[in-house]
Amino acid sequence: MSASAARELSFPRDIYAGEAIDEAVKTWSGFADFALRETDDHWIVALTPKPEYQAHARRIVGEFGNAVLGMTIDRGGAT
């Protein structure tokens, strides 16, 4: 979880809910820029902390991942 550059997270589609990713992106869009794409197996999120939050990159990436996981579990899983 580097503190300088963009970080790409690959969320397996059978573990994480796509709606949870969308919701987490909305929540965290004030702290980072997001680029989303998908493959057959993964939701891929490229996350770049905004310049003023570069020092908190590790925290932003980690909390974003926690938010996606938490919302996925709250929804009852990936499906």
Partner 1 sequence: MQSTTSFSDIPEAVVSVDASERSVAITLDAELYPLQAVYGAAYIFIDRCYVFVDRPQPGRYRVTLAAKQDVAEPEALRAVVGEFANELLACAWRHQITQDNRVAIETVTVQAIAGAMGEPSLDDLADFDFTDEALDDPLGIAQSWEEKHGRPAPAKAEAEAKSEEEAPA
Residues contributing to the site for partner 1 (CB under 8 A): 1, 9-12, 14-16, 58-59, 61-63, 65-66, 69-70, 72-73, 77
CB 47 within 8 A of CB 6: yes
Contacts of 12 (CB under 8 A, 6+ apart): 41, 42
Q: Name which of 15 and 35 has its Cβ closer to partner 1.
A: 15
Q: Name which of 14 and 19 has its Cβ closer to partner 1.
A: 14
Instruction: Please state the closest distance from residue 57 (CB atom) to partner 1, in A.
Output: 12
Other beta carbons within 10 angstroms of residue 66's beta carbon come to: 11
